[in-house]
Amino acid sequence: MPDALTNKLPRSGIKREALRAKGQFWTPDWTADIMTAYVLQDKPKRLLDPALGEGVFFRAAKRYAQSHDFDLELFGRDIDPEVIGQARMSGLDSGDLQNVEIRDFVLDPPTERFPAIIANPPYIRHHRLSSAQKEYLQVFARNTTGRHIDGRAGLHVYFLIRALQTLAPEGRLAYIVSADICEGVFANVLWQWICSQYRLDAVIAFASKATPFPDVDTNALVFLICNAKPAANFDWVKCCDRDSKELIAFVSGRPHKNHAGFQVHHRLLTEALTTGLSRPPSDDAKHQYTLGDFATVMRGIVTGDNEFFFMTATRAKVLGVPDSLLVKAVGRMRDIQGENFDQEDLRRLEASGRPTLLLNVNGLSFDQIPVRVQNYLETGEKNGLPNKTLIKTRRPWYRMEIRKIPPILFAYLGRRSARFIRNRADVVPLTCLLCVYPKHSSPEFIEHLWKVLSNPETVSNLRKVGKSYGGDAVKVEPRALERLPLPDALVCTEELGKYLTPKQAALDFG
């Protein structure tokens, strides 16, 4: 549990895993004050916090109501019985908590609607939901929105749908959540529905130094939504400093000319939905080219158990694995120090004790495999490897995924900058890297494409297609990387256009 008084998060271990299981990450007071100022600006009589936690929003709401001289009744929900005690420890009394129920907000919603809702929902990713939970949530979402929400949506997505459903006409919702809610595969369908039914007033993003959750690897956003007729524009705000009184005034409808500590972009909704609500506004002209015009992208190899299949040359020799059953590989992003990876880098890794060889016995029957390697596989079988999640679907279980050697690698997630890497060591990557396969094999074409991809202008475009995480990290999946815009001027300079197959013109029967 985070400390209710200090809001400090455990960085690892059992306590951190308990937070992940419950999806509990407390909102700091200064962020709660911003959110409260939005939902209470019309002085409503009732406020609902459907994920009470240790009561930060109740405390902020009490401060706001007292300073603006109006009566406010607090309502809350949570599924964790321990939160009542935590809320009391944080300074709330029995009167504040008299309308709090230990009930599931999504599965067992209130029967009444509220004029003000404020929430930090449980952040529980889809793989932590049971099949039965997923099925129920998808039916609920389809019945509510009339649309199919992809099964990779986390609980926080359905929580938002339920919160909007519970919002009274002209009511206001402030919702703080991870940026993946507008970057995931489900995002387009979700936000097209929301923005067609509700008025998006503002999205608040945070600079790294002002993030509400400095100990969590996530990029937080605050959505301010009103149950009113949709508008064509909204405010996209970048919070640069914590505890900005001017930002509180701005979201509560009392804007100052001085935007100290934050930046405001008045955006067209159509542009923002195309660019992405988590991303700054884009005024670029539409790019003519994307990476997918010149290359295909695949993820690296998933071994299912790197410790067993991925080994050093020394270990391979001890085990008696011949070179013919080994493939040169790279296993983690930090094994690659720059934008080029060559034979010298492989020798450096081997000298430092890092594995560089992948066991691959594909194409051989068990009887054709050398006896010492058979013995090694039998050891793996005794240790239960065939029953591991990513291995048990293989026939035989030790069969390895195959990748052609990619001329270009892509480091798609990490604290260091995401980047393209020239693969001069002829390695195959494990799943920590993506494989970029140029559509033409000529060395000239590959070098020209590499110059375009390694250019800082191209690399800066990664944020237009990637998912954002804490510390300014970005993650780009294979299909998203194929949508990466390539600057027209660079494509022209490197004469890549001549390699494109002309698209067949549409026939005009008019």
User: pLDDT digits over 266-286, tens only?
Assistant: 999 999 998 899 988 876 556
- Structure confidence at residue 433 (pLDDT): 94
Q: If DSSP codes are grouped into helix, strand and coil, which group holds residue 166?
A: coil
Check: CATH 3.90.220 for 293-499? yes
Evaluate whether 117 touches 96 at the Cβ level (below 8 Å).
Answer: no
**Portion of the chain with pLDDT greater than 70, in percent:** 90
Task: Please give the Cα distance from 306 to 427 (Å, whole number).
Answer: 16
Comparing C-alpha atoms, which of 334, 313, 352, 345 is closest to residue 424?
345
Task: Categorise residue 98: left if φ over 0, alpha if ψ from -120 to 50, beta otherwise.
Answer: alpha
- Structure confidence at residue 284 (pLDDT): 59
Q: Which residues of the chain carry a pLDDT beneath 70?
A: 1-25, 126-127, 217, 256, 283-286, 413-417, 470-472, 502-510
Check: CATH 3.40.50.150 for 21-275? yes
- Structure confidence at residue 130 (pLDDT): 80
- Structure confidence at residue 503 (pLDDT): 52
- Structure confidence at residue 8 (pLDDT): 41
pLDDT tens per residue across span 104-158: 999 999 999 999 999 999 887 766 788 888 888 999 999 999 999 888 888 999 9
pLDDT tens per residue across span 18-77: 444 444 567 999 999 999 999 999 999 999 999 999 999 999 999 999 999 999 999 999
- Structure confidence at residue 502 (pLDDT): 60
Distances from the Cα of 479 to the Cα of 276, 282, 406, angstroms: 16, 21, 16
Domain ranges for the chain, please list them: 21-275, 293-499
| DSSP state, residue 477 | -
